Amino acid sequence: MKISSDFYGKYENKDIKEYTLTNTQGVSISAIPFGAVLTKIVTPDKRGNRAAITLNVDNIEDMINYRPFYGAVIGRTAGRIAQGKFQLSGRTVHVDTNEGGNQLHGGPQGLDTQLWAIETEVEADGSAGRLIFRYNSPAGENGFPGNMEIKVTYTLTETNDWIIDYSASTDARTPFNPTHHVYFNLTGDVSQSVLNHELKLNSQQFAPLTQDNLPTGKLENTEGTPFDFSEAKSVGEAVLSAHPQIKPLNGLDHPFVIKKNGKNKVDGSLYDPMSGREVQFQTDRDSVVIFTHNEAINDFSIEGRPVRQYAGITLETQQLPDALNQPGFGNIVLEPGETYQSRTIYSFGLR
């Protein structure tokens, strides 16, 4: 396992370095302390050609100016909080809104906009390397109560696993439901869409959305619908359907409830027949949000190219969005004295 760093850009007159972990299998992950942003993952295809399989903008200025969420840690709460308010300890808490009266992805100054401290670490036997990010979120940031100490660790192993460990504590009751907004395009070519990727999910239910992309509060069965990925099928088969939950959005932006299957630790997989690349994921969270980059973007570029529609697909593991306002969606409130811990693993391979 090797670790290297290079100049990436400047933020508030500070030099920002990009740190890269590379294993002996030709897999590498790179990230910067701004937003704990994963700038790229590089893996070989079935012909041995290495290429980046994730999306990100070309410079830190575009991250700041356009905030595309590519590769960033999202929080304190992922997804939307309806009307920017919720009940906590018998009172109504109002948080900062940034999307049509709702809060999206932690608010205007979410974790993806903050400069994190970073440490690097390599196991003595070379079996794994780590990028360790820390951020102290003060009480009142984006309207949330509680001072929080947040730690996120990216681990790359020699067995081609990318492990994300989240840890956090608070001095006052506060919601916490982070995710990672990684976009995959396993072709290694951002000019190609992900519609031919094959997706499989250990899920039998999804959360339908309102016109504001908020969960309705219901969970519907996937069987017999385009949302059924219990057997692998192309992303395009769902995205191009006329289903009333899909067509208005031009694709998917939906939470899927993960069904745990005992010995089967894999919760889902994404496969690209052209390159042979595959990523499997497993998580201790209850859901995964699948978003299929439903619009083209002309404001910025990726590798010097315009960002096409369906350029990537997310596998955002988390508790169900807007759980604060939806009975039955789970408890995301962290108590003082407790330590929040969560793990998601993405495993890279070939078929």
User: CA nearest 178: which of 40, 79, 291, 324?
Assistant: 79
Q: Tell me the C-alpha distance between 85 and 312, whole Å.
A: 31
Confidence bin at 260 (pLDDT 50/70/90): confident
- Annotated catalytic residue: which of 18, 198, 278, 316? 316
- For the chain, the C-alpha Rg in angstroms (whole number) is 19
93's CB contacts (< 8 A; 6+ apart) are 85, 86, 87, 143, 144, 145
Greatest C-alpha distance within the chain: 59
- Rounded-to-integer distance, Cα 261 and Cα 214, Å: 28
Structure tokens at 217: 């509060």
**Portion of the chain with pLDDT greater than 70, in percent:** 99
CA distance 196 to 187: 10
Which residue's entry shows tokens 């997310």?
Answer: 314
∠ CA 219-284-53 to the nearest 5 degrees?
Answer: 95
Alpha helices in the chain (DSSP H): 60-66, 235-239
Query: Which two tokens mark 175?
Result: 């919601």
pTM score > 0.75 for this model?
A: yes
Q: What is the rounded average pLDDT for all residues in the chain? A: 97
Q: What is the pLDDT averaged over residues 69-91?
A: 98
pLDDT in tens, 270-320: 999 999 999 999 999 999 999 999 999 999 999 888 899 999 999 999 999
User: Can you tell me the mean pLDDT for 205-216?
Assistant: 97
What the block records as the tokens of 95 is 């948080």
Mean pLDDT (whole number) for 79-89:
98
Place of tokens 């504590």: 169
Q: For residues 256-283, give the mean pLDDT.
A: 92
Question: Quick check: is 181 catalytic?
Answer: yes
Candidate list 105, 180, 181, 293, residue with the active-site label: 181
Domains of the chain (ranges, CATH numbers): 2-350 (2.70.98.10)
pLDDT score for 263: 64
- Torsion of Cα atoms, 207 then 209 then 213 then 214, to 10°: -70
Tell me: pLDDT of 264 over 80: no
Grade residue 15 by pLDDT with cuts at 50, 70 and 90. Answer: very high
pLDDT at 265: 83
Would the pLDDT of 103 be above 80?
yes
In the chain, what percentage of residues exceed pLDDT 90? Answer: 97
Active site residue 254: no
Q: How far apart are CA 188 and CA 265, in angstroms?
A: 27
What digits encode the pLDDT tens for the residues 194-208? 999 999 999 999 999
